[in-house]
Every structure is written in C-alpha cells, then in structure tokens.
Amino acid sequence: MTAHRAILQAIVALGVSLSLIHSARAEVHIGLEAGGGSVIHLGAGEETGNAFGGIITARWDNLVFGFGTAVVMPDSRTQGQFTSLWGEVRYHFLRALDIIEPYGIAGFGGTLADGFRPEQANFTPVRWSEDGGIMGFVGAGLRLGRSEGMSLSFDARALNFEFVTLQLMVGFTL
C-alpha cells in the first residue's frame, strides 16, 4: 500500500502546485481530460486490450504538461487488469482555424502489478504487468477545441517499442 499512498500524495502535490501556478500566472491553463482506447500488443495482435483513464494538465502557450493514470485491461478482460501512471509533455506545433491543433507527445511512467490470483480463475489470462514496470512513449495527435473550454483529442502512442495505443480523450481547460 505504500506505493499507492506515494502516488496519491504525488497527485495531490501536483494538483496543488498547478493551482498555485494558475493563480500566479494567467497564461497557464489548467485542464482535465478523460477517455479511453485500444492497446495493441505489437507481437501478439490477438491480445488487443482496452484502457480508460484521465489526465490533469497545465497548458502554457504551445506546451502542455500532464500527469495521468489509467486502468489497462489486456485482452479486454478484467482478470489481468493493472494501473499505469505517467507524466507527459505535448507540443502543439500548429493552430488552424483557431480550433485544430496537431501535436507531438512524449512521456515516461510506470505500471503497477496486476494483482491477478491464479487460484481464482479456471483459465490463464493475458498478463502484461505481472510485477509492474517502467514505460516510455512517443506519439502524435490532433486536438479539436479552443485553448479554454471543451476539447476532443485523438492520439496514437508507441510504448516501450512493444505496444501501440489509440485513444480518444474529452477535455475541459480553464
């Protein structure tokens, strides 16, 4: 439980820090995004899974810094599900029609152990995070929406040269 407590403390500290930055500088915009998508194992496409999660963001001009968490279900089953946590940076390199923004993204984080108990199942599930691990990713995406208010984002990410994610996120930025 100590890892979970440390993660929750980090989330709270980030939220407090972002709110202080927001009150000190008007050009920083705080946001929240939620959504989900597919996780494709490049070596075993039949194990395609799902992920659902959220991200707290701080936008400063064309840069967006975020901290996110998601529940990942390998093979689209809950038996091998695990939690991932990460930090990310997005660079919005173009703004068209005041609402269309393509971006590049990079991040680093980790996964927690899946907590699967073999004695509770009569089959062997797909397990991507038996003991937890470290992950890094790069990708590209497209955001639709103004700098403040509602937005819709779609991106593709390559994780650890082993997985590809396709995700759709709905967000709100203050």
**pLDDT digits over 101-155, tens only?**
999 999 999 999 887 777 767 777 788 888 889 999 999 999 999 888 999 999 9
- Residue 165: predicted pLDDT: 95
- Residue 23: predicted pLDDT: 47
Q: What is the mean pLDDT of the chain?
A: 85
This prediction's pTM: 0.80
59 is written with which tokens? 């936008």
pLDDT band at 69 (very low <50, low <70, confident <90, very high): very high
Q: Average the pLDDT over 9-33 and give the result.
A: 64
The domains of the chain, with CATH numbers, are 2-173 (2.40.160.20)
Burial 58-85, CB ≥16 within 10 A → b, else e: bbeeeebbbbbbbebbbbeeebbbbbbb
